[in-house]
Amino acid sequence: MALQVRVATTMAEAAGILGSDQRTRLLSGGTLVMRDINEGRFLDGTLLRLTDPAYHQINASGARVELGAGATMAMVLANRDLAFLHPVARAIGGPAIRQMATIGGNLFAATPYGDFAVALLALDAQVMVQSGYGSARAVAIEEFLNARERGASGLVTSVQFAKPQNAADFRFRKVSRVKPKGVSVMSIAVHLPNSASRIGQARVAYGAMAPAPVRARGVERALEGKPLDAAAIQAAKAAALEGTRPVTDAIASDWYRREVAPVHLGRLLAGEGR
């Protein structure tokens, strides 16, 4: 047996093929799957290409954003309605990678990659997953990322989320040792909607601080209902490591990640540069 390539023209057809053959992998942007082929980890099975235009579409003009799973980082950067996500897309690879890397692929990128998924987690995104020939169902991104670790399958067709009412409510920071492009020591995304100058429904997410992007629930509790002042930021920093499980890899040790996480969280919340 060896690799074979199939082409699906609709998302339903692709979901059907993926559901019927565990050895089939979807080729989206290629930055994950082609790497596995090049390194000999995927040499036996089916490579599925999907040509459905809807898979690559972005709808961002209204209050609700829908990003097709096949939309690339370059497409996000070219969309003015997604300006609040431009710092996230720009943080991923160089220009060539951004032409190729997709939203859907980023949801499957193993830590310390997957910075866009961190942003989607802070935005409380819904992941639309289609299994077989039925219609897609919405899965909360946190649930999706947890299921990813268990090897759950299905075709991700798009992600959907409410656009932040105020672009300044959403902030993102990627911490890396190599400038301007390096792999994440960690990444942080926060969405802090506020009413009457008090934060409501805070969402804070980390990348590279656990085996998959993770919510910082201790930080969210520390900020909830408070103005974003020095006292709240101090409380958030004190709770910064709750629920984290950073690993040691070639980029940083778990100790280093624990040391710098509160510092960078504090700077992001305070609106400071690096």
Partner 1 sequence: MAKSPVQFRLNGSDRATFVDPGDNLLVTLRRGLNEFGPKYGCGQGACGVCTVLIDGEPHLSCLTLAVACEGRHVETVSGMADGPNLHPLQNAFMDNFAAQCGFCTPGMLMAARALLERNPNPTREEVIEGIAGNICRCTGYEPIITAILAAAGNRGQRQA
What does DSSP assign to residue 164? P
Radius of gyration of the chain (CA): 19
Distance separating alpha carbons of residues 192 and 122, to the nearest angstrom: 9
Question: Is 39 a binder of partner 1 (CB under 8 A)?
Answer: yes
Quick check: 170 and 122 in contact, CB under 8 A?
A: yes
Distance separating alpha carbons of residues 140 and 126, to the nearest angstrom: 5
Judged by beta carbon, residue 45 or residue 132, the one nearer partner 1 is 45
Span of 41-49, 135-143, 163-171, 212-220 interacting with partner 1 by CB under 8 A: 41-49
Question: Is 47 a binder of partner 1 (CB under 8 A)?
Answer: yes
Using CB under 8 A, which of 10, 34, 147, 193 touches partner 1? 34
Span of 25-33, 121-129, 198-206, 242-250 interacting with partner 1 by CB under 8 A: 25-33
Closest approach of Cβ 112 to partner 1, in Å?
A: 13
Binding-site string for partner 1 from residue 79 to residue 108, where x marks contact by CB under 8 A and - marks none: -----------x--xxxxx-xx--------
Distance separating alpha carbons of residues 132 and 15, to the nearest angstrom: 5
Span of 15-23, 32-40, 153-161, 236-244 interacting with partner 1 by CB under 8 A: 32-40
Using CB under 8 A, which of 11, 14, 17, 31 touches partner 1? 31
Question: Is 35 a binder of partner 1 (CB under 8 A)?
Answer: yes
Quick check: 69 and 26 in contact, CB under 8 A?
A: no
Cis peptide bond N-terminal to 112, omega within 30: yes
Distance separating alpha carbons of residues 131 and 129, to the nearest angstrom: 7
Using CB under 8 A, which of 10, 19, 52, 74 touches partner 1? 74
Binding-site string for partner 1 from residue 157 to residue 196, where x marks contact by CB under 8 A and - marks none: -----------------------xx---------------
Start-to-end Cα distance in the chain: 51
Question: Is 30 a binder of partner 1 (CB under 8 A)?
Answer: yes
Question: Is 9 a binder of partner 1 (CB under 8 A)?
Answer: no
**Strand runs (DSSP E) across the chain, as ranges?**
3-8, 24-27, 45-50, 58-59, 64-68, 126-130, 137-140, 155-162, 170-176, 184-191, 194-195, 198-199, 203-207, 214-215
Name the site residues for partner 1 (rule: CB under 8 A): 2-5, 27, 30-31, 34-35, 37-39, 42-43, 47, 49, 74, 90, 93-97, 99-100, 180-181
